[in-house]
Amino acid sequence: MSFKQSLIDAIEDNQMEMVMPSREYNEGEIVWMKGYTQALKDMLEDYDNDIEDAIQKSLTFSLN
């Protein structure tokens, strides 16, 4: 399993837990889960941007 797929799976699992909780969460736990999910989304966005930049750099070369 790739890093990107692991991030996507974790995001989906957390979002599903927010919609259909497996147990009752207190307000602090809900806030933490929302923050954690957003952090995972940010990591995924950064990963996608970094991969795109790396591909562009590998396809572009200079004679200097």
Please tell me the predicted confidence (pLDDT) of residue 38: 97
For residue 20, the 8-state DSSP code is: S
pLDDT in tens, the chain (64 residues): 798 999 999 999 999 999 999 999 999 999 999 999 999 999 999 998 888 777 777 777 666 5
Please tell me the predicted confidence (pLDDT) of residue 52: 74
This prediction has a pTM of 0.75
Other beta carbons less than 10 A from residue 53's beta carbon: 10
Please tell me the predicted confidence (pLDDT) of residue 54: 76
| Residue bearing tokens 């970094």 | 50
